[in-house]
Amino acid sequence: MSDINSAMATFDFSTLQPELIIDALQHLGLDVSSGLLALNSYENRVYQFSAYQGTAEKPVKFVVKFYRPQRWSLAQLEEEHLFAFELADADVPVVAPLLLHGQSLHSYQGFYFAVYPSRGGRGLETDNDQHLAMLGRFIGRLHQVGKATKFQHRPSFSIESQLLDSQTILLASGFIPNYLQASFTTALQQVIDLVKVQYKPKSLIRLHGDCHAGNLFYVDQGPFFVDLDDCRMGPAIQDLWMMLSGDQRQQRDTLELLLEEYEQHCDFDPAELRLIEPLRAMRMVHYMAWLTKRWQDPAFPMNFPWFNTDKYWEQQCLVLKEQLYLLQQPPLSLVPQY
């Protein structure tokens, strides 16, 4: 496949019209027999459709994902797909892209896209012990494969990418109201300074990277991910901490349940527990910057109408101050502290 990065002149999806999508699918030999049902995705554009493939007598449901231009390089997208195939070969329940004409990643009119089998499921219940136990086994198996080698092109969770780059975007955006700029800037800098001291992972492995209940589906056989769009290098706790909620006792009980099953497949270093609050801070700041960067995309004002209001930035000042307090507290421990 030739590199078409130079053809990706736009940052948004303004040229991604239904006719282009149908043409791209037909170019792969998929005879589309239905309309395009838009699925929930903000970063990319994802559609479910039915199509005849080859000599099949009945149409089959598929999902096509068009990647946001200029977000990932060709090498990074190919590495995501290779990781998905590696997990599938190890019987880890991740929906891998289909190989069509010998390729999983395709290009058409300036867009990269992939086609997946359509998989349905229920939402994962994070207060269900059975679901959590299965999730622990699943993540342990995923990390067992993830440790086998390293990403060469995908990024890592780092202070620079998650915090410093985000800080630059936020402070240059002009979105923060004048009366909040001093308070917001000070709180943000204090959080960054403390994370710099605390975020020192001993090892990085290949991760899902965005492991929260909204990205998981559940069938009777267990949970599964539909894709690995945010996979990258990071500490193992990154794929576990977002399942924790409530006070420290509740978080500890949930984590013990996850790790009891996780460690049947992969070792876990308890020292990584001290990374939970730094990682939470990194995600928080990165999320603010992500919304800021994407605000030009018409889908974002429509789906995040509360963003970029005075009330939103007032809340973020409070959230940063609360996170600063949490960073100053003893880290979560698997042994109750008295």
Active site residues: 210, 227
CA distance 224 to 128: 16
The CA distance from 318 to 333, in Å, is: 26
Tokens representing 17 are: 């019209």
Structure tokens given for 320: 């940063």
Distance, in Å, from the CA atom of 231 to the CA atom of 216, rounded to the nearest integer, reads 14
The amino acid present at 195, given as its one-letter code, is V
The answer to whether 192 touches 167, Cβ cutoff 8 Å, is yes
**∠149-153-156 over CA atoms, to 5°?**
80
In this structure, are residues 176 and 187 in contact, taking their beta carbons and an 8 Å threshold?
no
- What is the rounded (10 degree) CA torsion for 207, 13, 42, 176? 100
Instruction: Quote the tokens at residue 139.
Output: 């993540």
